[in-house]
Structure 1
């Protein structure tokens, strides 16, 4: 019996496949090394540019103000960091954290190209074990990153730990649609069209097949809300965007 439980605890899903936990970390890293250079272009193509609206809503809901300290986890190519750095100003600070050094490099180059220097720091970090002291940040965001984390509960607890009391966590992530017809169309798009776009544009069909599968394996809205509450956050709620294709979850550290 112990052996069976041990085996279950040592494995997790990589898309629809069951893999060893350590292997998942490596394989997710390989996906993002592969797609980093074309990540922004693919986001625009995949979402028809709508990801920019989802991110703008996240910024508006964050309540970030001048002088705040913000952590942008899985911040990748820096879309949110760029906007946050302008809001917090020279007295504030934004930390762009990503587990993947290829994504961090793309993000750093993009921010430098946009003239962002003084108030942004780049940290290669695992969301499950954030390398920051307790009660550090006013706001933490993770956009389209949580579904790639192996131990989501550990990551949410880690985020809650480094939030200041009264601080806010925002999780922007693909979720479950409420409309059966929309779900059907979305499934067809994700599994038939998306990998082909990945093949043509990024030369990588498999990585985009994994990304489509990882969306389906991600917890639904109510489950993620419960997970945030279990991690110690209060006033947890979510807002469905684009019919629930994406949901924005928020929670406050008491």
Structure 2
């Protein structure tokens, strides 16, 4: 019998990181330095470690990443991403920054949408930014099969950290997208602040990320699939159970939809209506905000 995991999701208080010590707790540091801790899946690690640990995960899964997305979601992730781009509704003048977009799934959809809806790409362009060079290499290889040159005026590839986009000037992009990537960042609040900074006034922030399922029966089934099936598929297809175990755990540690909505608002974005749209019972959610 598989039992449902009891998992504590993130909150606005932790902002995806913790500070050890304080209040005389078991990890209290009596010196002047407090070790900063964060979560890596269900494990607690030093903040400095998380980036390299996450980097190792995505270096390991890069070659099988798109195949595993299909197997893990039954192909539904494609529908979510299609809807994501339709909601953005880019034009031939849209300049997009797609963050954590290594394999190009969002970038190619963006370009395909503009070309189909307008009979051509016009001046539309997308910069695909990812901290992991292995993921970007997969995206570059896919570009040719999707009909796009890797050195095209319409698509460029860039290694970068979502928490610090110092090489990008203020007010540069019309739109900023991040799909299934923000939960892997150590400081989500910094990512959101940087997104706000690099967007032009009137620009749109859009995030597609896994959410919290509220329907009990669906939630129980989702937990069984996540914790028992997905790591097994990872072992069978990619010979890597551990990386996919982390990916499942990282989903459960991500803040629920209302909390993440409030984080977007706190970063300076105008949030319209509820601020998010649940997809497939809340398994995924589409979040949106505008820079005034």
**TM-score normalised according to structure 2 size:** 0.84
In structure 2, the partner of 1:82 is: 108
Larger radius of gyration: 2
Matched, 1:121 2:156: yes
In structure 2, the partner of 1:142 is: 178
In structure 2, the residue corresponding to 1:233 is in which secondary structure? coil
In structure 2, the partner of 1:207 is: 243
The ranges of structure 1 where at least 4 consecutive aligned residues each deviate by more than 6 angstroms after the TM superposition are: none
Matched, 1:53 2:51: no
In structure 2, the partner of 1:72 is: 98
Q: Distance in 2 between the 1:85 and 1:246 partners?
A: 23
In structure 1, the residue corresponding to 2:103 is in which secondary structure? coil
Unpaired segments of 5 or more residues in structure 1? none
Q: Distance in 2 between the 1:241 and 1:253 partners?
A: 24
Q: Distance in 1 between the 2:34 and 2:263 partners?
A: 23
In structure 2, the partner of 1:107 is: 139
Alignment: residue pair count: 253
Shift in Å at residue 90 of structure 1? 4.2
In structure 1, the partner of 2:289 is: 251
Contact 1:160 1:233 in 2 (8 A): yes
In structure 2, the partner of 1:7 is: 34
Q: Distance in 2 between the 1:216 and 1:206 partners?
A: 16
Shift in Å at residue 112 of structure 1? 2.1
84-93 vs 129-138, which moves further: 84-93
Q: Distance in 1 between the 2:279 and 2:34 partners?
A: 37
Q: Distance in 1 between the 2:38 and 2:33 partners?
A: 12
Q: Distance in 2 between the 1:175 and 1:251 partners?
A: 17
Shift in Å at residue 93 of structure 1? 1.2
In structure 2, the residue corresponding to 1:116 is in which secondary structure? coil
In structure 1, the residue corresponding to 2:201 is in which secondary structure? strand
Deviations 1:176-204 (A, max 9, x none): 00201111111111111100000000110
In structure 2, the partner of 1:223 is: 259
Residue 93 of structure 1: which of 125, 128, 139 is its match? 125
Q: Distance in 1 between the 2:33 and 2:64 partners?
A: 39
Contact 1:174 1:246 in 2 (8 A): yes
In structure 1, the partner of 2:280 is: 242
In structure 1, the residue corresponding to 2:281 is in which secondary structure? helix
In structure 2, the residue corresponding to 1:13 is in which secondary structure? strand
Q: Distance in 2 between the 1:215 and 1:64 partners?
A: 28
Larger helix proportion, structure 1 or 2?
A: 1
Q: Distance in 2 between the 1:214 and 1:30 partners?
A: 15
CA RMSD of aligned residues (A): 1.4
Shift in Å at residue 115 of structure 1? 1.9
**TM-score normalised according to structure 1 size:** 0.96
